[in-house]
Amino acid sequence: MKIIAVGWNYADHSKELNPTQLPKNPVIFMKPETALLKENKPFYLPDFSKRIDYECELVVRISKMGKNISKKFANRYYDEIGLGIDFTARDLQNNFKAEGSPWEICKGFDNSAPISDFISKEGYDLNELHFSLKKNGETVQQGNTSDMVFSIDEIIEYTSKFFTLKTGDLIFTGTPVGVGPVQINDHLEGYIEEKLMFQFDVL
């Protein structure tokens, strides 16, 4: 399986990190399968970075193989949603950006993609879905999919031009404003609407 992720997909977050302009197409990168961290296992801060940021994101699970999927039919290709963190080694990313180098290491390192269990999308309005992240009991990020620059269906249309999507692939759909660093002993909790999706410790 593969993990596809979208950068700069919420305007306010884009301004936070990259105050130039919104992308014309979704900005796509990937994380390897070894980035997954499941079952609320703790996240251990890696020694190669001094600045790991959380980015809480709605995640969509692909349920059927497809290529060149049109936006109109994209909703047939996923039936479950979850919540995840796109951990980012921001200090490394800033260096890579300055060099014009690819991002893979700062986004795809081991355990950089904690993920909740998945739930059926039925009963949720994915065009207006609220999700949030608490750090040590305090809400630090709140997002609503209505603020996405590119909708889930547009992301699927775009990415499936280049990559065949397969059952079990995950799409991290971008983070809203409020990203920030984690430190040892932080406790993170993620919610879709009022439902607790994950909670784990940073060690």
Residue type, 115: I
Backbone region of residue 187 per phi and psi (left: phi > 0; alpha: psi in -120 to 50; beta: other values)? beta
Binding segment toward Mg ion, per CB under 5 A, in 48-56, 64-72, 127-135, 193-201: 48-56
Binding segment toward Mg ion, per CB under 5 A, in 28-36, 40-48, 82-90, 95-103: 82-90
Nearer to Mg ion, 51 or 65 (CB): 51
Nearer to Mg ion, 106 or 126 (CB): 106
CB of 174 to Mg ion, least distance (A): 6
Write the DSSP assignment of 49-89 as a string of letters. -S-EEE-EEEEEEE-S-BSS--GGGGGGGEEEEEEEE--EE
Element (H, E) at 90: helix 90-99
Nearest to 173 by CA among 82, 67, 106: 82
Q: Residues with Cβ < 8 Å from 73, sequence gap 6 or more?
A: none
> Which one of 53, 86, 157, 189 is in contact with Mg ion (CB under 5 A)?
86
Q: Say whether residue 175 binds Mg ion (CB under 5 A).
A: yes
Q: Say whether residue 55 binds Mg ion (CB under 5 A).
A: yes
- Cα separation, 64 vs 110, in Å, equals 26
How many residues interact with Mg ion (rule CB under 5 A)? 3
- Cα separation, 86 vs 55, in Å, equals 5
Binding segment toward Mg ion, per CB under 5 A, in 78-86, 110-118, 126-134, 157-165: 78-86
CB of 173 to Mg ion, least distance (A): 9
Nearer to Mg ion, 30 or 65 (CB): 30
Nearer to Mg ion, 4 or 202 (CB): 4
Nearer to Mg ion, 66 or 115 (CB): 115
- State the residues that interact with Mg ion by CB under 5 A: 55, 86, 175
